[in-house]
């Protein structure tokens, strides 16, 4: 899985797309510290490999985590500065809610937050759906970026006491 790079100073504002989703009932916003256990349960259920990075995202105050909600129900999440500085991810949208524009808005909100911190570019580490990042943020693949930081990863059974 290669890494991708996004030019942050070339990004268009996310607010019109966020507002369009809001008009359809979906709110994309920064998560609050007091929502950590709900978001963590969602990620542990749907994307268990990413729970540790989510915890890292919630270690910041306010959290480096954005969420999508509809009538109090969590639909998706995205993190930044959770794996390495200037990294976007992980992110995930509940399967039945995909292709509504939620993933794009969460991605762009995180990228805007990175830009506000002074970064000129952001890294998406170990991408799955490269086309999503290309379409949503103009990301491009980084040559020779595989394996990236996700090399030599411990097996999930290590250190769990079994
Ligand atoms: C990747 C993911 C977050 C995208 O969320 P989403 O809400 O479905 O994405 P959006 O609806 O905002 O899509 C934005 C654009 O990307 C396209 N797109 C979305 N998912 C895509 C995919 N898997 N492959 C190719 N294109 C995709 C959409 O068609 C849309 O294109 P458009 O600009 O032409 O309209 C979601 O599919 C997901 O949770 N996947 C499983 C977890 C995952 O792979 N996370 C990323 C790990 S690097």
Tokens at residue 103, please? 């993933």
The sign of the dihedral angle between the CA atoms of 101, 106, 111, 116 is: positive
Instruction: Give the pLDDT of residue 157.
Output: 78
Residue 72: which domain range? 4-141
Distance between CA 84 and CA 20 in Å, rounded?
Answer: 31
Per-residue confidence of the chain (162 residues) as pLDDT tens digits?
999 999 999 899 999 999 999 999 999 999 999 999 999 999 999 999 999 999 999 999 999 999 999 999 999 999 999 999 999 999 999 999 999 999 999 999 999 999 999 999 999 999 999 999 999 999 999 999 999 999 999 988 766 544
Report the run of H or E that residue 123 belongs to, with start and end: strand 121-124
| Total domains in the fold of the chain | 1
- For the chain, counts of helices (H) and of strands (E): 5, 7
Contact 11, 108 (CB under 8 A): yes
**DSSP, residue by residue, 67-119:** EEEETTEEEEEEEESSSSTTEEEEEEE-GGGTTSSHHHHHHHHHHHHHHHTT-
Q: Is residue 22 part of a domain?
A: yes
Q: Which residues line ligand 1 (CB under 6 A)?
A: 89-93, 98-104, 127-129, 131-132, 135-136
Q: Is residue 146 part of a domain?
A: no
- Ligand 1: which residue has its CA nearest to atom 19? 132
Between β-strands 140-141 and 26-30, what pairing exists: parallel, antiparallel or unpaired?
A: unpaired
Report the separation in Å between the CA atom of 130 and the middle of ligand 1, taken as the mean of its atom positions.
9
Q: Is residue 130 part of a domain?
A: yes
Q: Is residue 151 part of a domain?
A: no
Instruction: Give the pLDDT of residue 160.
Output: 58
Q: Is residue 159 part of a domain?
A: no
For residue 80, the domain's CATH number is: 3.40.630.30
Tokens at residue 158, please? 């290590």
Pocket residue to mutate for ligand 1, from 17, 103, 111, most atoms within 8 A of Cβ: 103
Question: pTM for the whole thing?
Answer: 0.97
Contact 39, 67 (CB under 8 A): yes
Q: Is residue 156 part of a domain?
A: no
Report the separation in Å between the CA atom of 153 and the middle of ligand 1, taken as the mean of its atom positions.
25
Half-sphere exposure of 91 (CA within 13 A, CB side): 31
Instruction: Give the pLDDT of residue 162.
Output: 43
């Amino acid at each position: 899985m290669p890494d991708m790079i996004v030019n942050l100073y070339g990004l268009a504002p996310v607010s019109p797309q966020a507002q369009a989703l809001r008009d359809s009932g979906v709110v994309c916003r920064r998560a609050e510290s007091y929502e950590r256990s709900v978001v963590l349960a969602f990620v542990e259920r749907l994307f268990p490999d990413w729970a540790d990075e989510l915890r890292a995202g919630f270690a910041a105050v306010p959290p480096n985590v954005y969420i999508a909600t509809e009538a109090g129900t969590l639909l998706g999440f995205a993190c930044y500065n959770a794996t390495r500085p200037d990294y976007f991810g992980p992110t995930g949208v509940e399967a039945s809610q995909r292709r509504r524009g939620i993933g794009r808005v969460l991605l762009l909100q995180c990228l805007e937050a990175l830009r506000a911190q002074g970064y000129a570019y952001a890294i998406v580490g170990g991408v799955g759906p490269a086309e999503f990042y290309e379409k949503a943020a103009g990301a491009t693949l980084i040559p020779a970026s595989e394996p990236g930081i996700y090399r030599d990863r411990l097996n999930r059974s290590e250190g769990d006491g079994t």
